[in-house]
Chain A
Amino acid sequence: MKFRLPVSLLILAMVVSLLAAGTGCQGPGGQTPTVPPTPTIAEDPGKWDPFGKYAEPVVVNIGRNYEPANNLPSPHTMEDNLFIDHIEERLNIQVKYAWLADPNSYNDKVNMIITSGDLPDAMLVKSLTQFNQLVEAGVLCDLGEAYEKTMSPYLKGIFTSYGERAFNTARFGEELLAIPDLNPGYHFAILWLRDDWLRRANATAPTTLDELVDLAKKFVDMKLGGAGTVGLATNGWLYGFNNAFPTLDPIFHYFNAFPGKWYRNGDGEYEFGSVTEEAKAALAKITEMYAEGLIDKEFAVRGGADVNALLTSGKCGMFFGPWWVPLWPINDTLRNDPEADWKPYLAPLADGDQYRIYRQNPHVQYIVVRKDFANPEAVMKIFNLEYAGIKKLDPDAGAIYMGLGVNWTTWPLPLQFDYDDMVVRQYEHYQEALDSGSTDHLDDFEKMMFADIAKNFENPRADVTVWANAVSRYDGMKVASDPRVVPLDNVFPAETELMQMKWDNLYKLENETYLKIIMGEEPLDYFDEFVEQWKALGGAEITQEVNDMMD
């Protein structure tokens, strides 16, 4: 008798879930839900409307990180604040947190959730590997319909700005298994130079690769950073993906080499950029520069912190990094030396007027939804209202906590959506403000930044924070927005089983070979031997797989 009640409850839950299957998220092979979803008898008229209010309250349990810098005014908390109240009032959605995990061990928490299978309705995932594990386990909801019907036109517009990359890592066949964040492009490496060194060397900023090499030679020969001056800094990976620094990307790109990237070559085949003739040509130049002492002698043995220390120590006056490096780490150079005057440049230009870059993968984080969750469209609605508030599109939502500096990630679903060309848009706003003297077209954040830009024009480098904001937002974004930037149309193939098995060995072989050639332990022609070996060890098969996958 004692255990009859739970069993009958379970049966009831199964029946209810079958009834709800038409409206909920019951993909093929859906699992028996452990929690009975809200039974929806008649179609709720507000259900698919992007900003529509549900007739009956809908509860969404969210698992995400705790935000230590939320800046919420006391007594408001992450669990109980005006954002959550506003969502309930406008949408009749009750946001509850299944858990708020420590941001420092966030991936461990998600690993535990994956192993236990105890998913909340919606969850933040911060790693592609974990997301793929969830996909493989078949526990995620297809969000395709919810996105199409319920995502707001504003957010859809942002997704569209990424073209076919908008969902490239989140779509599996016909199914959209997560809403990915959208990290804007234009975070490629540009040349950062110490302008004060440039003046001391009585030189002009370089545009061609030869000029850049000559300048590095001058810096080293004149010992502008004292004994042991380093010409060009780089890390041991040599080339990068998103936001890499200090990297040699621009030198590889100058030679039309794109190591580490997949793209269609002249013959219409997809190839891997690390094993091309162009990569060999780029390596030849880098090897020459290393032999002449123009590249940091110890780059291969430095760890991350050591490299940053080199950039801020004042021993190095030249490196390649994205527009934001003044915010960190080279603001410390200015702290150590008030004369340090880092400035961004677009160099080296290939063929006179081309600065080649690769496209970044826009996705870093994902919001996934439990397979048997009845209201996946509620997640879209929360996003819609959040961004109406964050971007001040809706006066009510935008007014919440206005001027209190409350972190936008305090909204329940902390994904960043920004236009692919956010950098260009922002730069154009600042330029327009400079030209017209009016700041009416700037949003709150841009106004703050513009104030720093104006201050730094008046009194350059007087304050490190002002300088960092101004040089990154204005000078950095200006260079990154340059029309001479030509992006490669590279692709991001999903990881195949073969890749999972062999990729780390292939990468190890590649990195070892590159370093040995550059440091002179192997001759340049060893590169051909490496290519043969790379192909034999699985590279050829994987290339074939990528070609099949992409066609």
Chain B
Amino acid sequence: MKQKGFQLQYHMMLIPGICFLIVFSILPMFGIVIAFQKFIPARGIAGSPWVGLDNFIYMFQIPDSRQIFLNTIVIAVSKIAMNLVVPLLFALLLNEVRLKWFKRTIQTMVYLPHFLSWVILASMFKVNIFSLEGVINRGLEWIGVEPILFMASNFWFRPIIVATDVWKEFGFGTIVYLAAITSVSPVLYESAVIDGATRVQRIRYITLPGIAATIVLLGTLSLGNVLNANFDQIFNMYNSLVLETGDIIDTYVYRSGLMAAKYGLATAVGLMKSVVSFILIVMSYSLAAKFANYRIF
């Protein structure tokens, strides 16, 4: 009896969160029927004419749709890979630092950009870092290289997007890895030292195998993001010249759906993305369950 009452309180505490989820995530889902309509806002969902799969057919006819899907996948996959590797390397390096206060300070500092909004960061990168007057071009000038218009270059745009995203987020990943590393038993390190293992050998044969499960888990869980290239970031950093390499599904949906009022088409593209993402999430969950023994249900 006591046990049951105890649980009820916790379930009660879930109620606000579940209400929130229903109102803002479940109910709006009925809006996906717009994808099969020529949606006229004044007539509402009930009054707008049905057009079957027209919006989807048109989506595949647009000359840019191939490019947009490709851009999304290239950018998102690069981000996933880099966001897996960079924090791991950084965590391994930081773990070797002996000075505790130094380690903590660095850890907090690299974590800070995670809390900044892309609106602010984008104008910072655009104006102070990658512009003709920016830090990088100043540096290039100093070593005698012609200045480069980074933000207008289709060659540089994707690397910049990936690099800035990693810069913003790697501190967060680092913390997860550091937490995993602390759970590796110190006994293993002690015995390795006694056996004469070098630092590199200790990382290679103790730390890495020790946190392998975490790495696999983070990797597989991020599979669900293969079609999420981060709207906030790209919307604030792109311009007409780099649409070729930088236009992603979400920015396209924004432009055609909200700017050009093609609600039906935009919903169709969004729905397509959600379906593919859903399949990927299911896949990543089963992979995570298989390789990392990670289960929610």
* Same complex: yes
Q: Within 8 Å of chain B (Cβ to Cβ): is A516? A: yes
* Chain A: CB-nearest residue to B154: A521
* Chain A: CB-nearest residue to B43: A137
Contacts of A544 in B (CB 8 A): none
Given contacts A511-B240, A516-B241, contact A137 B40 (CB under 8 A): yes
Contacts of B255 in A (CB 8 A): 504, 508
* Chain A: CB-nearest residue to B255: A504
Q: Within 8 Å of chain A (Cβ to Cβ): is B58? A: yes
A316 CA / B125 CA spacing, docked (Å): 22
In this complex, the member of A111, A298, A301, A503 whose beta carbon has the largest number of chain B beta carbons within 10 angstroms is A301
Q: Are A297 and B240 in contact (CB under 8 A)?
A: no
Q: Mark A272-303 against chain B: 1 for CB-CB distance below 8 A, else 0.
A: 00000000000000000000000001101101
* Chain A: CB-nearest residue to B243: A512
Q: Are A301 and B241 in contact (CB under 8 A)?
A: yes
Q: Within 8 Å of chain A (Cβ to Cβ): is B114? A: no
Q: Within 8 Å of chain A (Cβ to Cβ): is B132? A: yes
A106 CA / B257 CA spacing, docked (Å): 20
Q: Within 8 Å of chain B (Cβ to Cβ): is A136? A: yes
Contacts of B44 in A (CB 8 A): 115
Among A133, A298, A501, A508, contact of B42 (Cβ-Cβ < 8 Å) = A133
Contacts of B43 in A (CB 8 A): 136-137
Contacts of B256 in A (CB 8 A): 504-505
Q: Are B42 and A512 in contact (CB under 8 A)?
A: no
Q: Are A298 and B149 in contact (CB under 8 A)?
A: yes
Q: Within 8 Å of chain B (Cβ to Cβ): is A317? A: no
Given contacts A133-B40, A300-B241, A301-B149, contact A505 B62 (CB under 8 A): yes
| B residues 168-185 in Cβ contact with A at 8 Å | none
* Chain A: CB-nearest residue to B151: A301
Q: Are B240 and A500 in contact (CB under 8 A)?
A: no
A508 CA / B246 CA spacing, docked (Å): 14
| Distance from A279 Cβ to chain B, minimum over Cβ atoms (Å) | 17
Given contacts A115-B41, A297-B132, A501-B58, contact A129 B261 (CB under 8 A): yes
A236 CA / B239 CA spacing, docked (Å): 9
| B residues 242-279 in Cβ contact with A at 8 Å | 243-244, 255-256, 259-262
Q: Are B241 and A515 in contact (CB under 8 A)?
A: yes
Q: Within 8 Å of chain A (Cβ to Cβ): is B190? A: no
How extensive is the interface on chain B, given as a class?
20 to 34
* Chain B: CB-nearest residue to A537: B63
Contacts of B259 in A (CB 8 A): 504
| A residues 465-515 in Cβ contact with B at 8 Å | 500-501, 503-505, 508, 511-512, 515
Q: Mark A299-310 against chain B: 1 for CB-CB distance below 8 A, else 0.
A: 011010110000
Contacts of A136 in B (CB 8 A): 40, 42-43
A306 CA / B256 CA spacing, docked (Å): 25
Q: Are A519 and B241 in contact (CB under 8 A)?
A: yes
Contacts of B41 in A (CB 8 A): 111, 114-115, 133
Q: Within 8 Å of chain A (Cβ to Cβ): is B127? A: yes
Q: Within 8 Å of chain A (Cβ to Cβ): is B64? A: yes
A551 CA / B240 CA spacing, docked (Å): 35
Q: Within 8 Å of chain B (Cβ to Cβ): is A134? A: yes
| Distance from B65 Cβ to chain A, minimum over Cβ atoms (Å) | 10
Q: Are B243 and A300 in contact (CB under 8 A)?
A: no
| Distance from A516 Cβ to chain B, minimum over Cβ atoms (Å) | 7
Q: Within 8 Å of chain B (Cβ to Cβ): is A139? A: yes
Q: Within 8 Å of chain A (Cβ to Cβ): is B133? A: yes
A392 CA / B115 CA spacing, docked (Å): 56
Q: Within 8 Å of chain B (Cβ to Cβ): is A338? A: no
Contacts of A305 in B (CB 8 A): 123
Q: Mark A527-539 against chain B: 1 for CB-CB distance below 8 A, else 0.
A: 0000000000100
| Distance from B130 Cβ to chain A, minimum over Cβ atoms (Å) | 9
Q: Mark A119-142 against chain B: 1 for CB-CB distance below 8 A, else 0.
A: 000000000010001101101000
A133 CA / B62 CA spacing, docked (Å): 25
Q: Are B241 and A298 in contact (CB under 8 A)?
A: no
Q: Within 8 Å of chain A (Cβ to Cβ): is B126? A: yes
A197 CA / B282 CA spacing, docked (Å): 65
Q: Within 8 Å of chain B (Cβ to Cβ): is A228? A: yes
Q: Within 8 Å of chain A (Cβ to Cβ): is B131? A: yes
Q: Are B126 and A508 in contact (CB under 8 A)?
A: no
Among B42, B126, B127, B243, contact of A139 (Cβ-Cβ < 8 Å) = B42
* Chain B: CB-nearest residue to A228: B133
Q: Within 8 Å of chain A (Cβ to Cβ): is B152? A: yes
A303 CA / B149 CA spacing, docked (Å): 15
* Chain A: CB-nearest residue to B239: A301
| Distance from A31 Cβ to chain B, minimum over Cβ atoms (Å) | 13
A297 CA / B64 CA spacing, docked (Å): 27
Among B62, B64, B126, contact of A306 (Cβ-Cβ < 8 Å) = B126
Given contacts A236-B239, A519-B241, contact A500 B262 (CB under 8 A): yes
Q: Are A300 and B42 in contact (CB under 8 A)?
A: no
Contacts of B261 in A (CB 8 A): 129, 500
In this complex, the member of B41, B58, B131, B255 whose beta carbon has the largest number of chain A beta carbons within 10 angstroms is B41
A237 CA / B85 CA spacing, docked (Å): 40
| B residues 129-157 in Cβ contact with A at 8 Å | 131-133, 149, 151-152
* Chain B: CB-nearest residue to A113: B42
Q: Are B240 and A508 in contact (CB under 8 A)?
A: yes
Q: Are B64 and A300 in contact (CB under 8 A)?
A: no
Given contacts A301-B152, A511-B240, contact A500 B260 (CB under 8 A): yes
| Distance from B235 Cβ to chain A, minimum over Cβ atoms (Å) | 11
Contacts of B42 in A (CB 8 A): 114-115, 117, 133-134, 136-137, 139
Contacts of B40 in A (CB 8 A): 133, 136-137
A134 CA / B40 CA spacing, docked (Å): 10
Q: Are A505 and B262 in contact (CB under 8 A)?
A: no
| A residues 79-105 in Cβ contact with B at 8 Å | none
A114 CA / B40 CA spacing, docked (Å): 10
Q: Are A512 and B241 in contact (CB under 8 A)?
A: yes
Q: Are A519 and B240 in contact (CB under 8 A)?
A: no
| A residues 126-164 in Cβ contact with B at 8 Å | 129, 133-134, 136-137, 139
* Chain B: CB-nearest residue to A296: B132
Q: Are B62 and A512 in contact (CB under 8 A)?
A: no
Contacts of A129 in B (CB 8 A): 261
Q: Are A515 and B58 in contact (CB under 8 A)?
A: no
Q: Are B127 and A306 in contact (CB under 8 A)?
A: yes
Contacts of A512 in B (CB 8 A): 240-241, 243-244
Contacts of A511 in B (CB 8 A): 240
Contacts of A501 in B (CB 8 A): 58, 262
Q: Are B131 and A298 in contact (CB under 8 A)?
A: yes
A300 CA / B157 CA spacing, docked (Å): 14
Contacts of A519 in B (CB 8 A): 149, 152, 241
Contacts of A303 in B (CB 8 A): 123, 126
Q: Mark A399-418 against chain B: 1 for CB-CB distance below 8 A, else 0.
A: 00000000000000000000
Q: Are A228 and B132 in contact (CB under 8 A)?
A: yes
Contacts of B62 in A (CB 8 A): 505
Contacts of A306 in B (CB 8 A): 123, 126-127
A306 CA / B132 CA spacing, docked (Å): 13
A311 CA / B61 CA spacing, docked (Å): 42
Taking Cβ atoms with an 8 Å cutoff, the residues of B that contact A are 40-44, 58, 62-64, 123, 126-127, 131-133, 149, 151-152, 239-241, 243-244, 255-256, 259-262
- Give me 13 A-to-B residue pairs in the complex whose CB atoms sit less than 8 angstroms apart, sorted by A's number: A115-B41, A133-B41, A136-B43, A139-B42, A297-B149, A300-B239, A300-B240, A300-B241, A303-B123, A303-B126, A305-B123, A504-B260, A519-B241
Given known contacts A228-B132, A236-B240, A301-B126, what 9 new A-B pairs fall within 8 Å (CB)? A136-B40, A298-B132, A301-B151, A306-B123, A306-B127, A500-B260, A504-B260, A508-B255, A512-B243
Across the A-B interface, give the 6 residue pairs with the lowest CB-CB distance, nearest first: A137-B42, A504-B260, A301-B151, A133-B42, A114-B42, A511-B240
